[in-house]
Amino acid sequence: MKSAQKGFTLIEVMIVTAIVAILATIAYPSYTEYVQRANRSEGQAFLADASARQERYFAQNNVYITSSSDLSKLGLGGVTSETGKYTLSVASVNGDGGYTLTATNQFNDTKCGNLRLNALGQKDRTGSGKSVDDCWK
């Protein structure tokens, strides 16, 4: 009598390996994009919080913070986002009394780059891989 084989053949293992490799090549870019989009939402929230604090500061002092060295006056608790994915800076806009907040990414987001928000609520980004609307979803 012949004994029954146990285990897998090399061909079966190679087929499964090929299928897993194909699935990984499809899934990994989507996963990376998902992670970067989640990171961008942290930057957007950070900018929205800083902008609201700017407006509160303006209501009390009749002037915006336009120097990164003065950002502590907004009470943000630092210029780094909660998980350290973004750092915040601010600049004046053409001397008209407004401001532009910039959240500089720390995770190599080349498609959207750094996120910006100005005193008029206009959103922007420094990258060129995606539109402004796609970066601010």
pLDDT digits (tens, 9 = 90+) for 9-48: 899 999 999 999 999 999 998 998 899 999 999 999 999 9
What tokens appear for 91 in the block?
Answer: 């600049």
Q: What is residue 1's predicted lDDT score, i.e. its pLDDT?
A: 63
Percent of the chain residues topping a pLDDT of 70: 97
Q: What is residue 76's predicted lDDT score, i.e. its pLDDT?
A: 87
Percent of the chain residues topping a pLDDT of 90: 71
Q: Residue 70: which residues within 8 A CB-CB, separation 6 or more?
A: none
Q: What is the 3-state secondary structure (H, E, C) of the chain?
A: CCCCCCCCCHHHHHHHHHHHHHHHHHHHHHHHHHHHHHHHHHHHHHHHHHHHHHHHHHHHHCCCCCEHHHHHHHCCCCCECCCCCEEEEEEEECCCCEEEEEEEECCCCCCCCCEEEECCCCEEECCCCCCHHHHCC
pTM of the model: 0.79
How many Cα atoms are found within 13 Å in the side-chain-facing hemisphere of 15? 5
Predicted confidence band at 108 (pLDDT cuts at 50, 70, 90)?
confident
Higher pLDDT, 84 or 95: 84
What tokens appear for 136 in the block?
Answer: 């601010």
Average pLDDT over residues 97-119: 92
Using CA atoms, how far apart are residues 101 and 109, in angstroms rounded to an integer?
Answer: 18
Average pLDDT over residues 87-108: 89
